[in-house]
A and B are shown apart, each in its own frame.
Chain A
């Protein structure tokens, strides 16, 4: 004869699955965090290599912008 196990719900801690839940969510969040970090790094590398291919314009771009920024903010470019 098989024994029937009766689970009395009032005695079951509703948080008994807590460790499993935070472990799975923590793992997924950490994986997502790592993935975002790699994507961000990859974007940075592509962006930098694009700038290098255009003749290393990084510094030059900053210097060539005051005129444009001046129009946008209502400032006149220096003559």
Chain B
């Protein structure tokens, strides 16, 4: 059987290793890391450490095992120029920190500190501390960059501190203290927010907010002084373990106390404030349940998911449901529910639906676009079309055409012009959106999809569609 080997575009920074995705005609993609001689030896040492085995068993670090030369996929990787190969458990759907709500970044930050503490207590360090090294499996943060664990050599200190602050702590402080969403900042700066830039947000008395003086203001001053000096001046000195552990403890307590409570959110109260009567709401739920169950899709996108009422229904019979919404507090609420009473196969993401994450980084390959990280089998966009037309100014033709390009079953709810929510959207608009009619919508749909099922709601003001691409 032919199996294709493709190098991961984001795995080029470490000269001692390279991640490959290996997939066959029948699916079943594996994630295999090619390793240099020294890196393979270090990996074997790490895998033999009891603390590391415990971290894997607890689900904090991605499950990893060395492969021997009998494994056909390992042989392919070795033939590509590596001395050894290790396999990592594959992550269902790759996400990036600029798509996470506040609580996901916070939990990922606490995981990073916990791992570093466990490593430091056992004679190891984490050489990197970027939030891109964390992914999500079963609604839990999982550390995936195993070669970041290195032996704590004499003369070493926590070199990842700056990176940790730039990609975890500073974004959290900006959102918690100043209500500035960190997602656009992290999307614009993949290396995170440097202290001198962050210090400009915390001017005047703002610098006295919790955690700002030690982790933003002081590093900004120290770096500014080092830059004026022309850098250098650093002699190799070992940071004591006690000081590192105390610093980690203090940072964990600081992050643990950070919270984000936005003053008002459009959708966070959705479960209580939607515009349906109870009977229609139940019929809508039943429609979603029936069509999700009939397909049992591997990957579902719920676009405009708000607090995930329908993501949860779809998740009952699906592999993974990626729930996307532009409202951080609604998605934050959904994340908390996935940690408690919700199916854990939901991946909640914050994203502007008129500006989905693009391909970014080196050669546009380092962080693939949202649409390139997996083809959905089913796309749900319930009561989204009117927002795309009015708020984002995307013509119906373009939106329906884009849905067709995904080549997936679509479950869609059309909100008619007479609906009070549509009227509310256009009340301050000068344009009348004349193309936005049920007849135009249906014509656009029928030229690209077969209508398998439909259901009128709210006395015909809204209509649910189950569509198959033709």
Where the two chains meet, the residues of A that have a C-beta atom closer than 8 Å to any C-beta of B are 5, 7, 9, 11-30, 32-33
Shortest beta-carbon distance from A16 to chain B in Å: 4
Residues of B with C-beta under 8 A to A22: 157-158, 161, 239, 244, 247
User: How many residues of B are counted as interface, with CB atoms below 8 angstroms from the partner's CB atoms?
Assistant: 31
Q: List 5 A-B contacts (CB under 8 A).
A: A19-B234, A21-B162, A21-B223, A24-B218, A30-B242
Q: Are B222 and A29 within 8 A (Cβ)?
A: no
Q: Which B237-266 residues sit within 8 Å CB-CB of chain A?
A: 237, 239-240, 242-244, 246-247, 249-250
A28→B242 CA distance, assembly (Å): 11
Which of B228, B231, B232, B243 is the one whose CB lies under 8 Å from A26? B243
Q: Are B230 and A20 within 8 A (Cβ)?
A: no
**Quick one: which of A11, A21, A27 has the most chain B CB within 10 A?**
A21
Residues of B with C-beta under 8 A to A16: 223, 226-227, 231-234
Shortest beta-carbon distance from A5 to chain B in Å: 7
Residues of B with C-beta under 8 A to A25: 161, 214-215, 218, 247, 250
Q: Are B228 and A14 within 8 A (Cβ)?
A: no
Determine if B283 is an interface residue (Cβ-Cβ < 8 Å): no
Q: Which B211-231 residues sit within 8 Å CB-CB of chain A?
A: 214-215, 218-219, 222-223, 225-228, 230-231
Q: Are B243 and A23 within 8 A (Cβ)?
A: yes
Determine if B147 is an interface residue (Cβ-Cβ < 8 Å): no
Shortest beta-carbon distance from B199 to chain A in Å: 13
Q: Are B159 and A15 within 8 A (Cβ)?
A: yes
Q: Are A18 and B159 within 8 A (Cβ)?
A: yes
Supply 6 further A-B pairs (C-beta < 8 A) apart from A5-B230, A23-B239, A25-B215: A16-B233, A18-B234, A20-B222, A22-B244, A22-B247, A23-B243
Q: Are A21 and B233 within 8 A (Cβ)?
A: no
* With contact pairs A28-B214, A29-B247, A33-B246 given, residues A7 and B222 touching in the complex (Cβ less than 8 Å): no
Residues of A with C-beta under 8 A to B92: none
Q: Are A7 and B194 within 8 A (Cβ)?
A: no
Residues of A with C-beta under 8 A to B234: 16, 18-19
Binding site of B, secondary structure by majority: helix, strand, loop or mixed?
helix
Q: Are B250 and A19 within 8 A (Cβ)?
A: no
Q: Are A18 and B214 within 8 A (Cβ)?
A: no
Write the chain A residue with the least CB distance to B227. Answer: A12
Q: Are B222 and A15 within 8 A (Cβ)?
A: no
Residues of A with C-beta under 8 A to B215: 25
A19→B159 CA distance, assembly (Å): 8
* With contact pairs A14-B223, A21-B218 given, residues A29 and B249 touching in the complex (Cβ less than 8 Å): yes
A15→B228 CA distance, assembly (Å): 13
Shortest beta-carbon distance from A35 to chain B in Å: 11
Shortest beta-carbon distance from B238 to chain A in Å: 10
* With contact pairs A15-B162, A26-B239, A30-B242 given, residues A7 and B230 touching in the complex (Cβ less than 8 Å): yes
Shortest beta-carbon distance from A12 to chain B in Å: 4
Which of A5, A7, A18, A29 is the one whose CB lies under 8 Å from B243? A29
Q: Are B225 and A17 within 8 A (Cβ)?
A: yes
Residues of A with C-beta under 8 A to B227: 7, 9, 12, 14, 16
Q: Are A26 and B247 within 8 A (Cβ)?
A: yes
Residues of A with C-beta under 8 A to B237: 19, 23
Q: Are A26 and B246 within 8 A (Cβ)?
A: yes
Write the chain B residue with the least CB distance to A31. Answer: B246
Q: Are B231 and A18 within 8 A (Cβ)?
A: no
Write the chain B residue with the least CB distance to A16. Answer: B231
* With contact pairs A7-B228, A14-B162 given, residues A21 and B219 touching in the complex (Cβ less than 8 Å): yes
Residues of A with C-beta under 8 A to B159: 15, 18
Write the chain B residue with the least CB distance to A11. Answer: B231
Q: Are A26 and B219 within 8 A (Cβ)?
A: no
Residues of B with C-beta under 8 A to A9: 227
A33→B234 CA distance, assembly (Å): 27
A50→B231 CA distance, assembly (Å): 57
Q: Are A27 and B243 within 8 A (Cβ)?
A: yes
**Quick one: which of A7, A14, A26 has the most chain B CB within 10 A?**
A26
Shortest beta-carbon distance from B404 to chain A in Å: 46
A56→B247 CA distance, assembly (Å): 39
Shortest beta-carbon distance from A20 to chain B in Å: 6
